[in-house]
Homo-oligomer: A and B are copies of this chain.
Amino acid sequence: MAEALNGLKRTNMCGDLRETHISNKVTVMGWVGTKRNLGGLVFIDLRDRTGLLQVVFGEEINKEAFQKADLVKPEYCIAITGEIIKRQSPNDNMPTGQVELKGASIKILSESETPPIYIKEDLDASENIRLKYRYLDLRRPDMQKILMIRHKTAKVIRDFLDENGFLEIETPMLTKSTPEGARDYLVPSRNYPGNFYALPQSPQLFKQLLMVSGYDKYFQIARCFRDEDLRSNRQPEFTQVDIEMSFVEEEDVIAVNEALIKKVFKEVVNEDVMLPMKRITYKEAMDKYGSDKPDLRFGMEIVDISEEVRECEFVVFKNAIDNGGSVRAIKVTNSADMGRKKLDKLGEFVKTYKAKGLAYIAYKEDEIKSPIAKFLSETQMQAILNKVEAKTGDLVLIVADKDSIVLQSLGALRLQLAKELEILKDNVEFNFVWVTEFPLVDYNEEENRYVAAHHPFTMPMDEDLQYLESEPGRVRAKAYDMVLNGEELGGGSIRIHDSSLQETMFKVLGFTQEKAWERFGFLLEAFKFGPPPHGGLAFGLDRIVMFLAGTENIKDVIAFPKNQNAFCPMTQAPNMVDDKQLEELGITKAEIKK
């Protein structure tokens, strides 16, 4: 019994109606939320993307409409015409709660079966059902709100960058596979059987070429792809706000980008971000927080107590220090009475970060309880407590090992404790910080070579350039990450714009000259023709929207995400294709999924 519009026009959106509309004749269209029969009347909550409006039908108002209204069920799509009147029993919890619509006529535009998930906020359905019926999941008001936030975020970003002279330029999706970094998604070529395009992991090289071309300021909100095993906050395709500028140094890039973020948080969620943002070097971030994306909303900083315990009897501490490692601690306020079971669990926790164990000192009112007390002199014990500034009631947790393990495990422990102790429970702050002076390269034990910490196009810091070939691990980069509440929002760098320096960099990364030219020859070639100094940054749009929308699940901010297996339960993609299609591409299946 679906009816056509036949010229019927919507006059208003449901959520917009207010007392100022009283006695207006309006036509609204949307979905039936709830329907109630009460006192010989039919009440319908009609929903569109702007909100809910109560509609009342009665035999007295219009008999035909009343009878038809009585037939509708939740999620029917309907159009209603009638007069806005003052509501008998106002609902102050609803923006439209002061009025209601007197339903004089109704069209049933389409019917609905009972939906497999509830169309309501705070749905508690399995992820698989939500993704399978994504079109219903997306009908829920909280999902609609998130996608509206996403739209607005992208709009504010584009407006800001346009006003500041940036040009949005689209770069190719079918591009060259350059296997350095994550795994590429490949696209077989029909014209060149056995050859492949790659979907871009980022527009990095193209934006650098655009700088060589003199576009001066570029941006793009670009889809990027990584064929990696998915963690909760990863998706095979994600969206990057990609920015590049010419004739700039680090400070210029930082200034534009923090102004951009300030604008976004103000316009989208009315939050004032104070500028300039804090800065911290990579080294300090690692030393104090054991992380290159430190969460600065709380203290519990890591303290190096190697000096204090150097002379102690505890062989674990001594060994760590003797082998070039360290002994470090964090202080947990008012936690001296933490039970043995919980402490054991924390010990297990740090072991997942390769720490061999977790020592503790519980500074109780009446005693200092610690399994390692017997190895420490009173002076040494006091020195530790002094160093970490422990007061009565505090708990000190200690890891000893090589630095990377100590820092990583204590950094993770710090975050874990913040979660367990609900330190951030009512914290609503947005705590931004720039992390600077990243290492240029990391040593990769597996590959037995240095790999780029950011990417191979990052400029070394001037003062470290001299060590590039002799001691690459010592070289810091002109690279910066913007971190918010312990998550990386974006990162970038000043780029190399010199062919020979770029070639040296590839050499440091273990590329032969031939291999460097085979993969990146077009960039090296381009740098022969007056490349400008340039640098930029890329933000994760999905991540930004997660913060603005207050969700921790990346799937909530993407209209049609994939599940953990990069599969779409709704469309059933990926799927089998005809052999004829593969034949044209010059490929065959090596094995077939059953």
Contacts and interface: CB of A to CB of B under 8 A. Distances in A.
Interface of A: 2, 4-5, 7, 9-10, 29-32, 47-49, 75-77, 79, 109-113, 115, 134-136, 138-139, 144, 147-148, 150-151, 154-155, 158, 162, 167-177, 179, 183-199, 205-206, 209-210, 212-216, 223, 225, 227, 236-237, 239, 246-249, 252, 462, 497-498, 522, 526-533, 558-560, 562, 565-568, 570-578, 581-593
B173 A138 contact: no
A216 B113 CA distance: 21
Contact of A590 (B167, B194, B462): B194
A192 B593 contact: yes
Given A151-B168, A174-B237, A188-B188, A581 B193 contact: no
7 contacts: A31-B530, A48-B216, A76-B530, A111-B530, A179-B578, A193-B590, A197-B573
Contacts of A196: 574-577
B588 A77 contact: no
Given A109-B532, A206-B559, A533-B5, A237 B172 contact: yes
Contacts of A526: 135
Q: Which of A179, A192, A248 has the most CB of B within 10 A?
A: A192
A134 B529 CA distance: 12
A163 to B, nearest CB: 10
A71 to B, nearest CB: 14
A53 to B, nearest CB: 14
A74 to B, nearest CB: 9
A173 B223 contact: yes
Contacts of A225: 173-174
A147 B167 contact: yes
B213 A139 contact: yes
Nearest to A498: B2
A102 to B, nearest CB: 21
B530 A112 contact: yes
B187 A187 contact: yes
Nearest to A528: B113
Contacts of A171: 559-560
Contacts of A565: 191-192
A80 to B, nearest CB: 12
B176 A568 contact: yes
A146 to B, nearest CB: 11
